[in-house]
Structure 1
Amino acid sequence: MNRPAVLPWLLAAICFADYAALGLRDQARMLTSGFDLGIFDQAVRAYAHGQAPVTPLKGFGVNLLGDHFSPITALLAPFYRIWPSADMLLVAQAALFALAVVPLTRWAMRALGTWPAVIIGACYGASWGIASAAGFDFHEVAFGVLFLAFSATALGERRLTAAAVWALPLLLVKEDMGLTTAVVGILIATRGRRVLGLATAVAGLAGSLLEITVLIPMVNHHGYTYMNNVIPGASSASSAWGVGGLHADVHALVHAVAGLPNPVKIDTLVMLLAPTAFVALRSPLIWLVVPTLAWRFATDNPSYWGTGYQYSAVLMPIAAAAFIDGLIRWRRSGGRKSLIRSRIALAVALAVTAFLLPSRPTFGVLCPSNWSNSSHVAAAHQLLDMIPDGATVATTNRLAPQLTDRDTVTLLGTQLNLLRRNSWIIADTQGPPFPGTAAQLNQWLVMAQQQDGFRVVAEDDGILLLERTA
């Protein structure tokens, strides 16, 4: 067996085991949430039964395609029929993240040699953006990570048709990813394939515009509800988005970008580039991060600025590819000095990644305490088992993904006017309250008993199970 050929797959297998263990243990320990694992579980479950991706956690009758345009998740439907569980989504995400190691490592091996490839593959696998995403439920961006790894690798190797082919499916991942596709097209054009590059860029821009202004509003009559979230002061996008509305939104974007300097944003940029020893800046491939960073930094929502959650996952394969390309450009300059600089850069990348690793969720799988369940989790499972399959349940955020694969689940507190649709309520009063506060959660539970005909049928360790009697 050819050992160099096996190496990328070995790295991918190690990464997969780590990501999958993290996701499955989080689910087993009830550290996942209805927002977002439960939402995607409901959507994929609907796809698996040939239905529209309606997600009761978002609201009764709410189609997830009217929230974000992510039809790519329908590809998981056949697997869900075989393994109908939220666990399947976590394992699938782990596989998508891990498979991105393969094209990056293969390219690095061909261009730089075995040990540089091992270091770069390991640095991607242990990167903070992937770790944060793997430690926070399931998200459609897992597909984007894989597509970008293949597309950026193809760009770096000047396989320009392949780069375009891998970039176009990004349009099915999320409505903003068409902008990244457009940058892929621009880079293709600068490498000599102008017609192909222009076509890819136009497809990316037109695709995002179509999704935001037509396809999402077709499903959601409120239009694209994230426009104001991404561009402060912008109007909601709809099929009626006219010239005046477009002008206003562009003005709002310019106003937002003018205030970009911010310690959190700067920290994100440093965190992105430091694991590449800033060598990624030598490569034009680094331009692929601009669309994602632009909309995140332009918003007035601080949760988009930093290094948490899933928002930076798609940046990790780009940074790794730009790192490889930057090292190649150094090597092409020839001489012993460029070789020494490359080795120093690889050592810095490995050191920075190793320094950041202990603070990341993926490192937690090595802690023995993460492999045992608390008495609180055991009590929750006892009460969850009392809810019959096919029931309609209102629950708290942490308990939701424990039920979405078998019941119709809504989030307690978000749809009080629709509480009469539910037959059961199960609430963890000790868990982090979402939405609202602990006091509001207790108020909702009292209201359910006094006004909506629920009674407590079981209680254990701060977890209440209520059933409708009227």
Structure 2
Amino acid sequence: MNHYQGHVKKILSDTYLWICLFFIAIYTIIFSIFAIEKHQAYHSGIDLAVYEHLFWSTINQGSFFTSTLEGVNTFGVHFSPILFALIPVYILHPATETLLVLQTLLLGGAALPLFSIARHCIDDKAGIIVASAYLMYPALHGVNLTDFHVVCFASLFFFSAFYFLKTENFRLFFLFVLLLACTREDLIPISVMICIYGAWQVKRSSKDYKSFLIIAGILAAWFLIVIGAIMPALIPDGSSAGGHIFQYQKMMEGFGHYQINRLTHAALLLAPILILPLFSPDILFIGLPGFLEIFLSPSPYYYSIEYQYSALIIPCLFIATVKTLSTIKNFDRHQISCLYKPILCCLLISGFICMFLFSPSPLRSGSFSKSYDPTITEHNLAMDEILASIPQDAAIGSQEDILPHISRRTNLYQGFNEKADYIIADNQTKFIDIFHNSANSLASWNMIYSKSGITVFKNPALHP
């Protein structure tokens, strides 16, 4: 039997690995269904429309990641070179569902390197339980079901980099650190922190740590170039789509507001994992840039598990959980305590309970209301028919829950825009407010449809 055959046989007989893969498959199937149902029930938002329009226009029009929805090149809003890797995937099946399923697969698939880290640092059972706790994590569900965002790569790249650091495969460690840095500009500082942590780890083992610091320095310089030169250069003067570089400048503004929201968010992040990360401050230090971005942000959306921003810190929280469990087990081994097995059981139970209490998904039950109703109504079906009747080459202005359903066309606009051929408004959603300031302008447009709260206006400049 050669080395390859022996490796394959080992994988096929690895029961714990197959259990982990089974859980990942279940998660991927369930949350792909949830994400698609949410979209079909018109609960998606502007970000899903933006990303699909970026892919569609780049492939079909050569517009190089520029969307009429944002009005600027998307690399000025978020610097995400990883988007190039998604183009071949979208070409294979150019549909909104492709992005939703891909995001679910990436988030769920990150449980595999996390499982590998936990079994390497602790044992097989810990690997399964930590991976399960991750897949049941309410904040992960919020990331998964909030449109589509490139931060869905963060956990996979972070966990993979950490695994290869622990197994001393430094080439692959640096590869995944660089991939993490290519995901989004606010993940570059976290990549720097991983390299600094890696330098500290290998120095303790009397190994050469200089390459880690060199890469950290290069990434730090790259971050300053990205936010100081590249992103501003891609944003026209006076544009309101300035991206997050302006948020970094205003990070402390509004810190006195929404304090309860911040505390609640922290509690919902830590409760499912029994506040175990707090006992590994060295790991939490890696995620410091992400924690600062979230908890110092003037936007209340950042401190809510129902949005995508938790993806910045979820990986760090789970690596810290593994580190704490490893420490507790070592205490048990030296007869200092007997807490490891009870805590491991409590982690599984806590994850299960918190999933049903707090998950921003249809899994949520009890006295807590669901974040959205996945039921496809007659109103949704009527909107589908109306959207299908609009010419494919027409420019459309609409609200953010409608735009993801028409994102594969040349020109899209959020709200009223005089360049649009048609304006579609649905007054049965909260997003109708976007048209209130445009009432006078719409008065001169031709109303060609008005029924069941759906109104379609046609630009008077178009021929009847």
Same fold at TM > 0.5: yes
What is the RMSD computed on CA atoms of the aligned residues? 2.7
Q: 1:170 pairs with 180, 183, 189, which one?
A: 180
List per-residue Cα deviations over 1:315-343 (Å, max 9, x = no partner). 22222222112212222344375673122
- Is residue 262 of structure 1 aligned with residue 256 of structure 2? no
* CA distance, structure 2, for counterparts of residue 424 and residue 22 of structure 1: 31
Contact 1:105 1:121 (C-alpha < 8 Å) held by counterparts:
yes
SS at match of 1:79: helix
Q: 1:51 pairs with 51, 55, 63, which one?
A: 63
Report the alpha carbon displacement of residue 104 of structure 1 after superposing the two structures with TM.
Answer: 0.8
Aligned length: 433
* CA distance, structure 2, for counterparts of residue 86 and residue 266 of structure 1: 35
* CA distance, structure 1, for counterparts of residue 393 and residue 211 of structure 2: 50
Contact 1:171 1:177 (C-alpha < 8 Å) held by counterparts:
yes
Q: 1:29 pairs with 35, 41, 57, which one?
A: 41
Going from structure 1 to structure 2, the CA distance change for 1:260 and 1:29 (only over 3 Å counts) comes to closer
SS at match of 1:459: strand
Contact 2:53 2:409 (C-alpha < 8 Å) held by counterparts:
no
Q: 2:279 pairs with 271, 277, 282, which one?
A: 282
Q: How does 1:75-86 map to 2 (within 5 A)?
A: 75-86=85-96
Report the alpha carbon displacement of residue 159 of structure 1 after superposing the two structures with TM.
Answer: 4.1
TM-score normalised per structure 1: 0.84
Going from structure 1 to structure 2, the CA distance change for 1:463 and 1:317 (only over 3 Å counts) comes to same
Going from structure 1 to structure 2, the CA distance change for 1:430 and 1:256 (only over 3 Å counts) comes to closer
* CA distance, structure 1, for counterparts of residue 336 and residue 451 of structure 2: 65
* CA distance, structure 1, for counterparts of residue 364 and residue 68 of structure 2: 32
Report the alpha carbon displacement of residue 256 of structure 1 after superposing the two structures with TM.
Answer: 6.1
2:447 maps to a residue whose letter is: V
List per-residue Cα deviations over 1:409-430 (Å, max 9, x = no partner). 11114xx4xx1x2111111111
Contact 1:156 1:321 (C-alpha < 8 Å) held by counterparts:
no
Report the alpha carbon displacement of residue 371 of structure 1 after superposing the two structures with TM.
Answer: 6.0
Report the alpha carbon displacement of residue 180 of structure 1 after superposing the two structures with TM.
Answer: 0.2
Aligned to 1:220: 235
TM-score normalised per structure 2: 0.85
* CA distance, structure 1, for counterparts of residue 135 and residue 379 of structure 2: 33
2:438 maps to a residue whose letter is: W
Going from structure 1 to structure 2, the CA distance change for 1:48 and 1:341 (only over 3 Å counts) comes to farther
Q: 1:231 pairs with 215, 226, 249, which one?
A: 249
Aligned to 1:186: 196
SS at match of 2:338: helix
Aligned to 2:442: 448
* CA distance, structure 2, for counterparts of residue 373 and residue 285 of structure 1: 43
Aligned to 2:402: 399
- Is residue 379 of structure 1 aligned with residue 389 of structure 2? no
Gaps of 5+ in 1: 233-252
Aligned to 1:467: 458
Q: 1:5 pairs with 17, 35, 45, which one?
A: 17
Report the alpha carbon displacement of residue 144 of structure 1 after superposing the two structures with TM.
Answer: 1.7
Contact 1:128 1:356 (C-alpha < 8 Å) held by counterparts:
yes
Q: 1:197 pairs with 203, 212, 216, which one?
A: 212
* CA distance, structure 1, for counterparts of residue 460 and residue 57 of structure 2: 29
* CA distance, structure 2, for counterparts of residue 8 and residue 296 of structure 1: 31
SS at match of 1:465: strand
SS at match of 1:391: coil
List per-residue Cα deviations over 1:216-264 (Å, max 9, x = no partner). 12211349653442332xxxxxxxxxxxxxxxxxxxx6x6699699333
Contact 2:286 2:316 (C-alpha < 8 Å) held by counterparts:
yes
Going from structure 1 to structure 2, the CA distance change for 1:339 and 1:18 (only over 3 Å counts) comes to farther
SS at match of 1:136: coil
Report the alpha carbon displacement of residue 91 of structure 1 after superposing the two structures with TM.
Answer: 1.0
